[in-house]
Amino acid sequence: MNKLVEVKNLKQYFKVGKGQVVKAVDDVTFDIYKGETLGLVGESGCGKSTTGRTIIGLYEATGGEVLFNGLSVHRKKSAKEAKELKRKMQMIFQDPYASLNPRMTVADIIAEGIDIHGLAKSKEERMNRVYEMLETVGLNREHANRYPHEFSGGQRQRIGIARALAVEPEFIIADEPISALDVSIQAQVVNLMKKLQREKGLTYLFIAHDLSMVKYISDRIGVMYFGKMVELADAEELYRNPIHPYTKSLLSAIPHPDPETERTRKRIIYDPSQHNYKEGEDVRMREITPGHFVYCSEAEYEKYKAMHS
């Protein structure tokens, strides 16, 4: 499989107050393969959105590097290279209410990237591309001259998806794209994203805290806890066989549709003090079973290996 995105020892630290530093992303490493969806999950404040924004270059990395098709995202590039990289990597934001300019028509919102990258040779071609994008995301061409406030949350998120698609990207970071939507609309947006992925060969980083929805869309899932990636595995494997105690805790919190099962469901509470690593101890992502990585010490690795051999 071809690696499209390589994240190597990525760090994103923020200074807060006098001499204090928040390690929002702390030495995170993973790859995203062409055509796959990598889900990134964790509680609010774990660093998953910061990871996405640093990968795409909205934040300058404190350390480490991100490669897209072998090209560094954060190193200095020519204006042409930087522009092309921005076209190939797009983002769908969490809040469809805040991410669309209320003073712009839907046509101008979708065509913004088309204009910047010179992808239409005439006004007619520009509008045809806008109409095509609207139809691609399940809206119709009559919507082009309306303003964002005239649409529901689900429709606005479709406009956001159309805006991202308009420049023909290869890679899309979807930062909690369904968390602001009604549950009934969430599945529609996720199904649309899956359909577009099949049709256009897109690669996704799908960031969310809803584990059941992440499993539905993702090929592999990475779990983050306080800036660290603590587990990474195929979606099915992670659900069937979680190894890190924090992952087990997250999975135990998923509500069950059956009332009887829900009544007896045992919630696992994660206690971080069970990982009191010593200064200088070799703690890193280790492969427990093929393709299943867990952040652990040498002693924990031996224990996990014995349990899952």
pLDDT one-digit tens code per residue, 128-185: 999 999 999 989 999 999 999 999 888 988 999 999 999 999 999 999 888 877 887 8
Which residues are registered as beta bridge partners of 21? 15
Res. 39: pLDDT tops 80: yes
Alpha helices per DSSP H over 201-272: 211-217, 235-240, 245-252, 259-264
Q: What is the mean pLDDT of residues 244-263?
A: 85
Which structure tokens are listed for 300? 């924990």
**Domain contains 248:** no
Which structure tokens are listed for 97? 């209410």
CATH number at residue 114: 3.40.50.300
Give, in order, the Cα–Cα distances in Å from 80 to each of 84, 98, 108, 212: 6, 30, 24, 40
Q: How confident is the model at residue 273 (pLDDT cuts 50, 70, 90)?
A: confident
Spatial distance between the Cα atoms of 168 and 89, rounded to a whole number of angstroms: 9
Q: How confident is the model at residue 18 (pLDDT cuts 50, 70, 90)?
A: confident
More confident residue, 79 or 218: 218
Q: What is the mean pLDDT of residues 99-108?
A: 91
154, 173, 294: which is closest to 222 by C-alpha? Answer: 294
**Domain contains 286:** no
- Work out whether strand 171-175 and strand 89-92 pair parallel, antiparallel, or are unpaired: parallel
Q: Tell how many helices (H) and how many strands (E) occur in the chain.
A: 11, 12
Res. 209: pLDDT tops 80: yes
Domain span at residue 199 reads 3-241
What is the tally of structural domains in the chain?
1
More confident residue, 127 or 271: 127
**Domain contains 219:** yes
Residue carrying structure tokens 């509008």: 127
Tell me the backbone φ, ψ of residue 28, rounded to 5 degrees.
-100, 135
**Domain contains 299:** no
State the CB neighbour count (10 A cutoff) for residue 130.
25
**Domain contains 215:** yes
Q: How many CA atoms lie within 13 A of 161 on its CB side?
A: 29
**Domain contains 167:** yes
**Domain contains 283:** no
Question: What is the reported pLDDT for 262?
Answer: 77
**Domain contains 19:** yes
